[in-house]
Amino acid sequence: MLLDYSEYLNHKQWMDSALSLAQAAGDAGDVPVGAVIIDSFGNKIAEGENRKERDNDPTAHAEIIALRTAAKRLQTWRLQQCTLYVTLEPCPMCAGAIVQARLGLLVYGVDDPKTGAIRTVINIPDSGVSNHRVGVIGGILESSCRQQLQAWFANRRQQKIKGQR
């Protein structure tokens, strides 16, 4: 999908916001992934950051937290007029939740070669098990998203070598 410059700038603005949330998650000890949901008017209605470690909750992914918040705020689980920005390609759980929420558009930063369930490893939104087709744009601020994750994992490996957590 080709974007014009103003569309790109809009997506970049929201991905920058998601990157800030990802930084907060990483600083708190969780994998640095952040998510922002905007409504059809371009207003931020929800955000989330990974909280698996802090909450001891395997479902506390940035996307899930943002989807739950948006649904509560809009008082509907149908989010077809919304756009979700997330720094990392969603996993199978999050991809399923995105389909179930009938999300209008997903914009993500970097592909996940291990568990990416949008385009990289599997494609849940376009598969036969999906009852909703989600618009997808990948690669917005890809380099920044990749660098943030790589730096966090490199730091984590260094801490393990030094015997820290």
Strand partners, 107: 85, 137
Catalytic site residue from 47, 49, 63, 89: 63
Helix (H, G, I), strand (E, B) or coil at 143: helix
Token couple for 139 = 């690669």
Does residue 63 carry a catalytic annotation?
Answer: yes
DSSP 9-54: HHHHHHHHHHHHHHHHHHHTTS---EEEEE-TTS-EEEEEE--HHH
Catalogue the active-site residues: 63
